[in-house]
A = this chain, B = another copy of it.
C-alpha cells in the first residue's frame, strides 16, 4: 500500500469526516443507542448519520432511510444490525465506496464454517469496491485527538477520555474498556484503541503499521489471543523499532500447551507458548505476562533501546516493599547491583548507610525529600546500572514531598535512564501524578517486576540471514528424489550430515554402508516401526544384515498384509557423547521455527528445548544451545568430555534453511548424535512432513 493510501485509511479510521450508524437505536437504554451518544459526549464534531428505514430521526438527530440519501462525506460506517442484515448494509457502503466499514455485529467467522464463508464473501465484495472492513465482531474504535469515540463499550460513560501516547490494538473487544478505565484512573492516556474483532480484513499487523506512522502514538500495546500474519507483524514491529516506538504485547495461551497434545515431538513442543515467546522476542516486541504491566510498562521503555546488560539499582524507603520487587526480578535473572565506590561515597555523604546489600535503604537516614532526590539523581547519573527502581513507602500516600516530588525532579534532570517506581501503599494520586509526568509507576510489585523483566529481555529485532538462492535447486532436487530416503537426501543437501543409509529393495542386495548397521522396514504406511517389530539393530556383517532383512520383511508382511512395503533401509549405527533433537516446523501462529533440545527420555520429560524463528545465523544457534540445560554435560559440566557443540550450531543453522523450501511443513532429526569435540554431529533418524495435504513422508533410520 502506498503511503498516501495508508494515510487515507488512517484518516477514515481515526478521524472520519462523517460516520453512518446502521442499527442505531432510538431507545437510549439500549446498547445500540450508545455510539451516537458517546460520539457526541466525547466531542466528535463530524457528521453522524443514523441509517434507519422507518424513522426520520434518532435521538434528536436526522436519520436517513438509506446511505445513498445521507449527505456529506461519510468516511466510516458502523454496523450494529442483526447478522442477516449485515450484507445488505455493507452493500450500501460498498456502493458509495465508504472507505471503512466497521462491523460490530457478531455471529460470523467465529461461529464456524458457514460464518466464515459469509465473512469471506463480504471481504471479497469489499475488496472489489476498494472498501476496508474492521471486524466483524469489533466493539469499535476510539481515537482521542481529534476525538472519535465510536464504540458500544460502556467504558465511554467515563467523564473524559484519557489522552496520551499509547496506541492499543486488541483482539478482545471488552478489554478496550479495561484499558481505558484503568488508564483513566491512573493518568495513563491513549492515542487510539482499536478492537479488531475477527480480523476478516484489517488485521493486527496492518493496524500496527498504521500506528507506527501515527505522530500521536509513542508506544503500541497489543492484546493478543492468537497470532496471524507473523511475517507482516515482524515487518511492522521492525518499523516500529526503527521509529523508536516500543511495541508491548500481552498474549494469551500460556496454558493451552498442556492440553493440545500434538503427535510428533516437534509438534508437541513447538505448539508450546515458547514459540510465541521466541517469535515476539525476535520481532523486538516486549512481552509482559500481566494485564497491569501491559498498561504500566510504556513509560519505562519509551525513549529507551534494548539494554546491553541486566543491572538494576534499587533505592527505597520501605525495605519490605523493595524486597517485594527484588524477589521476582531476581527470579527473572536480573541482577541487583550496589553502587560503585564514588557513587556510594556521594550517597553516604547524604547520611545514608550503604552496606553490603545492593539495596539502598533510606529508612535509617530518615525519609526526607532532600535525601531521596539526590540519591536517586546519583543513581540515574551513574552507568553502573541499566535501570533504577525507586520503591516508595507510606510517604507515597500522604507525604508526596518526601519521595514523589523528588522523583519527578530527578527524572526531569536525568531523563535518559530507565526508571520504575513502585509505591507500596494505595496511592492513586501519586501514581497519577507520576504517569502524567511520563514516569513509569507500578501499583503492584509483580507488575513492576514483570515490566523490568520484559525490558531486560528486550532485543533489537532479529535480522534473519539471507539464504543463498543458488542452494535452492539442490534442495528441490533432493525433495524430488523418490523412495524412502528423501528426508536424508534433503538434510544432507542442507548440510546436516546424516548417517550412511541405503535403500534395499530386496533382502539380498549388497550393503555399501559401513557396519554395524541397523535394518528397518521401509513403508509409507508404517509410522511406528517398532510396533510391528520392524527394526533390527547392531548387525555386524553383510550376512547377518541380509538374514535380518529377510526375517523382517516376512514378519512385517504377515503383521500388516495391507501395507505397501518398499523393501528395507540399512543405516550405519552411530555413537557419540550425547544426543540432540533438531526440529523444524511451520508453526500456525508464528511461521517457520527451529527447535533444538537435548535428546533422550529425560530431556523429553523436562521439555528442555530452545526455539527460534527460522532462518538463523550462527550466533543465534549458539544462543539456543546455551539455553538448553541438557547440553551442559557436552559443554564440559563436571569435567565431562566436551561434545562438538560447534558442529551442532552449524547443523542448526543449516537446518534452519528449510525456511527457503515452503513445501516442508515439518522436519525432525531425532536423535542427532553429538560426537566428541572436532568430530561433528550426525543424524540417525530423519522425519519429513510436506504440506498442502501431501502424505506424511516419515522415514526413520533408527528405532522409532
A interface list, Cβ under 8 A from B = 31, 106, 153-155, 157, 170-175, 177-178, 180-182, 184-186, 223, 225, 252-256, 258-259, 289-292, 317-321, 323-324, 326-331, 363-364, 366, 393-395, 397-399, 424-428, 444-447, 598, 600-603, 605-606, 608, 629-630, 632-633, 637-638, 640
Determine whether the beta carbon of A319 is less than 8 Å from that of B602.
no
Determine whether the beta carbon of A323 is less than 8 Å from that of B177.
no
Q: List 12 A-B contacts (CB under 8 A).
A: A155-B397, A174-B424, A178-B424, A180-B425, A253-B327, A254-B327, A255-B327, A598-B602, A602-B633, A605-B637, A606-B629, A606-B630
Query: Which B residues are CB-close (under 8 A) to A446?
Result: 289-292, 446
- Asked if A291 meets B630 with Cβ closer than 8 Å, knowing A320-B223, A603-B602, A606-B606, the reply is no
- Asked if A425 meets B637 with Cβ closer than 8 Å, knowing A255-B327, A320-B170, A395-B154, the reply is no
A180 CA / B398 CA spacing, docked (Å): 13
**Nearest chain B CB to A642 CB, angstrom units:** 14
Of B184, B318, B364, B602, the residue contacting A174 (CB under 8 A) is: B318
**Nearest chain B CB to A558 CB, angstrom units:** 22
Query: Which B residues are CB-close (under 8 A) to A321?
Result: 172, 174-175, 178
**Nearest chain B CB to A626 CB, angstrom units:** 13
**Nearest chain B CB to A702 CB, angstrom units:** 15
Determine whether the beta carbon of A181 is less than 8 Å from that of B331.
no
Of B182, B185, B330, B603, the residue contacting A258 (CB under 8 A) is: B330
**Nearest chain B CB to A113 CB, angstrom units:** 15
Determine whether the beta carbon of B317 is less than 8 Å from that of A174.
yes
Query: Which B residues are CB-close (under 8 A) to A157?
Result: 394, 397-398
Query: Which B residues are CB-close (under 8 A) to A317?
Result: 174
Determine whether the beta carbon of B601 is less than 8 Å from that of A172.
no
Query: Which B residues are CB-close (under 8 A) to A445?
Result: 290-291
Query: Which B residues are CB-close (under 8 A) to A154?
Result: 393-395, 397-399
Determine whether the beta carbon of B640 is less than 8 Å from that of A254.
no
From DSSP, what is the main secondary structure of chain A's interface residues?
A: helix
Query: Which B residues are CB-close (under 8 A) to A606?
Result: 602, 606, 608, 629-630
Of B290, B323, B327, B397, the residue contacting A181 (CB under 8 A) is: B397
Q: Beyond the given A155-B398, A181-B427, A255-B329, could you list 5 further A-B residue pairs with CB under 8 A, ordered by the A residue number?
A: A177-B318, A177-B393, A178-B394, A254-B330, A255-B326
**Nearest chain B CB to A533 CB, angstrom units:** 13
A407 CA / B210 CA spacing, docked (Å): 41
The residue in A180, A181, A253 that gathers the most chain B C-beta atoms within 10 A of its C-beta is A181
Determine whether the beta carbon of A601 is less than 8 Å from that of B637.
yes
A341 CA / B184 CA spacing, docked (Å): 42
The residue in A171, A180, A330, A632 that gathers the most chain B C-beta atoms within 10 A of its C-beta is A330
Residue of B nearest to A425 (CB): B181
**Nearest chain B CB to A581 CB, angstrom units:** 14
A397 CA / B154 CA spacing, docked (Å): 9
A426 CA / B183 CA spacing, docked (Å): 8
A182 CA / B323 CA spacing, docked (Å): 18
Of B180, B254, B319, the residue contacting A172 (CB under 8 A) is: B319
A291 CA / B448 CA spacing, docked (Å): 12
The residue in A177, A259, A393, A394 that gathers the most chain B C-beta atoms within 10 A of its C-beta is A394
A428 CA / B602 CA spacing, docked (Å): 49
Determine whether the beta carbon of B256 is less than 8 Å from that of A330.
yes
Residue of B nearest to A173 (CB): B320
A397 CA / B159 CA spacing, docked (Å): 12
Query: Which B residues are CB-close (under 8 A) to A180?
Result: 425
Determine whether the beta carbon of B363 is less than 8 Å from that of A174.
yes
Query: Which B residues are CB-close (under 8 A) to A602?
Result: 598, 600, 602-603, 606, 629-630, 633
The residue in A154, A173, A398 that gathers the most chain B C-beta atoms within 10 A of its C-beta is A154
A424 CA / B393 CA spacing, docked (Å): 27
A115 CA / B701 CA spacing, docked (Å): 70
Query: Which B residues are CB-close (under 8 A) to A395?
Result: 154
A603 CA / B364 CA spacing, docked (Å): 45
Determine whether the beta carbon of B254 is less than 8 Å from that of A331.
yes
A278 CA / B270 CA spacing, docked (Å): 32
**Nearest chain B CB to A570 CB, angstrom units:** 26
Determine whether the beta carbon of A155 is less than 8 Å from that of B320.
no
Query: Which B residues are CB-close (under 8 A) to A292?
Result: 444, 446
Query: Which B residues are CB-close (under 8 A) to A640?
Result: 601
**Nearest chain B CB to A129 CB, angstrom units:** 30
The residue in A170, A253, A395, A398 that gathers the most chain B C-beta atoms within 10 A of its C-beta is A398
